[in-house]
């Protein structure tokens, strides 16, 4: 049995939604951990971007692609910001916006002039960079994590 692309997108959106709800519930239990709320917001952007991308897959209109890129970049930049907030205790709002805008600047113009393949390569590279940057934030916080003796 093979899965079609839309089923995979739906599974990804449902999984990210469940993670967002879980993080939101965790934030309700520990309101002082505001990075959970920031991460939830990032996941809401990501899920919205996945839905917009699904619309683009079904009907490749440039507007759907642009909306997808904007939401995905905003989401992954916010998740990076949540990682920074986890480590330092403050959300770097200006850096989050700058990160998202930088990703949009390199990926949206090729989409607008018809180079879809180049646009999606830039989109995926920008998202990968944001994911590595997020992992680096958590890596830097490892020294304060409890470890077995």
Calculate mean pLDDT across residues 80-109.
95
d(CA 32, CA 24): 12
- Average pLDDT of the chain is 92
d(CA 50, CA 56): 10
Calculate mean pLDDT across residues 4-30.
87
Q: Do you know the residue count of the chain? A: 149
121-145 as b/e, with b when 16 or more CB fall inside 10 Å?
ebbeebbeebeebbeebeeeeeeee
Among 13-22, 48-57, 65-74, 121-130, the range scoring the smallest mean pLDDT is: 13-22
Is the pTM above the cut of 0.85?
yes
Return phi, psi of residue 147, to 5°.
-130, 150
- Reported as a single tens digit per residue, the pLDDT across 65-87 is 999 999 999 999 999 999 999 99
Confidence of residue 1 (pLDDT cuts 50, 70, 90): low
């Amino acid at each position: 049995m093979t899965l079609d692309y839309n089923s995979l997108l739906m599974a990804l959106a449902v999984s990210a939604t469940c993670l967002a709800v879980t993080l939101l519930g965790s934030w309700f239990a520990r309101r002082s951990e505001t990075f959970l709320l920031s991460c939830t917001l990032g996941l809401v952007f990501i899920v919205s971007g996945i839905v917009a991308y699904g619309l683009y897959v079904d009907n490749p209109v440039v507007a759907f692609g642009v909306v997808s890129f904007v939401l995905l970049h905003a989401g992954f930049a916010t998740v990076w910001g949540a990682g920074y907030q986890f480590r330092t205790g403050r959300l770097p709002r200006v850096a989050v916006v700058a990160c998202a805008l930088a990703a949009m600047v390199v990926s949206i113009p090729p989409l607008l002039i018809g180079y879809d393949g180049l646009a999606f390569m830039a989109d995926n590279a920008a998202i990968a960079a944001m994911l590595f940057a997020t992992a680096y934030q958590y890596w830097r916080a490892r020294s304060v994590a409890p470890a077995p003796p």
